[in-house]
Amino acid sequence: MIASSVARSARPFDGDHDAFRESVRRFTAAEVAPVLEAWRSHHGAPATLFSELGKHGFLGTMVPEEYGGGGVDDIRFVVALVEEFAGVGATGLARCLALHAGVALPLLARVASAPDHRRTLEKAVSGASVLPVAAARAAEESPLRVQLVAGASYADAAVAVTDDAVLLVPSDLCTSEVSRPLGGLDSPHGDLSVDSADVSRLPRLRDAGGTALVTRDLRFWHAVVATEAAHRALRLTVDYVGARKVFGTALSSFENTRNRLAEVAARLALVRLYVDSCIAAHAEGTLDAESASVAMMEAGAAHDLAVDQGLQLHGGYGYMREYPISAAFADAHYLRGQEQVFGNARRAVAEAALGFEA
């Protein structure tokens, strides 16, 4: 209805991905959407959600079978999982699952050798624990502090990305306190901290591709979540203006309403095409840092546009929690705040595309 036929036909998925997506869609319709608002009121989804996702085989598609995973090195299955959660309004969980299944698990699987690595992988694949990703700035002589880490409250370990290292943070070397952001409330969050004396003891994941690769993936997943969340915000608004009447006339019949939503739809169609090209490139192993940075910037801006216009067209109702656009607006600003932990994407584009020196 909203995306152009060009954007729909260009989606880089095949029949296997579609079947997997349909399984996730049935799960979210039955197990997520009906209780989403309750989760937002109680510090996020319960730990049992992740166990159920593990039982369905949704979490470890990219992890080798020897660790309990699906053994399929194809990022598009994780994209389908993440998009379906974002599509029902579970933006916080979509981001949490993207970092768990799309960043942390494949990363640890590439370097798994020690017994503790195997145990961490197996628990994360089964959903017995969450493996969050925390982007932080830390030196060996200073403590590591990261706020609002998605999934941290259910974690036995975490992946910490600093300026110059990718670290595995076991639970016995860190403390975690439940935290509550303004948006993304459907996901559990926690503040992680590691004392300065313990930072130097954290094992480094030396063969994980380095911080540059992880940063690229963080930006890529941000774009995937923001794009799907933006489409949902537009769908919510289209439904609202079609049902809402002003002086007996449907709000959707006004020229201003149609023009504003047409602008959003056009922007999202272009962003979808670009993000889909990044999905295809990632699946082929050719996604570069510049493209991921552009995708994050443009998807984030389009998401902001969609929720801003949606909130405005809802009028005063847009500020009421009874209307889903209110949560969508808060989620967009939550995602925008999370962009800051991924480094400066604009600087990366300026250096790669414009030739400016670092």
pLDDT tens-place string over residues 93-118: 999 999 999 999 999 998 877 777 88
To 10 degrees, what angle do helices 15-31 and 75-87 make? 30
**What is the pLDDT, as a whole number, of residue 163?**
78
Residue among 278, 171, 179 nearest 226 (CA): 278
* Cβ-proximal residues to 96 (8 Å cutoff; 6+ apart), any chain: 130, 132, 150, 151, 187, 188
Please give the full DSSP string across 6-67, using - where no structure is assigned. Answer: HHHHT----HHHHHHHHHHHHHHHHHTGGGHHHHHHTTSS-HHHHHHHHHTT-S-TTS-GGG
**What is the pLDDT, as a whole number, of residue 180?**
85
* pLDDT 10s digits, 191-234: 888 887 677 788 888 765 678 899 999 999 999 999 999 999 99
Q: What is the DSSP letter of 104?
A: I
Question: In sequence order, which ranges of the chain are alpha helices (DSSP H)?
Answer: 5-9, 15-31, 36-41, 47-55, 75-87, 91-99, 105-111, 115-126, 196-199, 210-243, 255-284, 289-314, 324-338, 345-354
pTM of the predicted model as reported, rounded to 2 decimal places: 0.93
Please give the full DSSP string across 81-103, using - where no structure is assigned. Answer: HHHHHHHTT-HHHHHHHHHIIII
Q: What is the DSSP letter of 152?
A: G
Residue among 109, 66, 62 nearest 82 (CA): 62
For 150-165, letters b (16+ CB in 10 Å) and e give: bbbbbbebbbbbbeeb
Cβ atoms 184, 39 nearer than 8 A: no
Give me the residues of the chain with pLDDT under 70, please.
1-9, 137-142, 197, 207-209, 342-343, 358
Sheet with 175-179, strands from edge to edge, namely: 144-150, 189-194, 175-179
Q: How far apart are CA 301 and CA 309, in angstroms?
A: 12
Tell me the residue type at 61: T
* Cβ-proximal residues to 180 (8 Å cutoff; 6+ apart), any chain: 43, 189
74: alpha, beta or left? (left if phi > 0; alpha if psi -120 to 50): beta
**What is the pLDDT, as a whole number, of residue 290?**
94
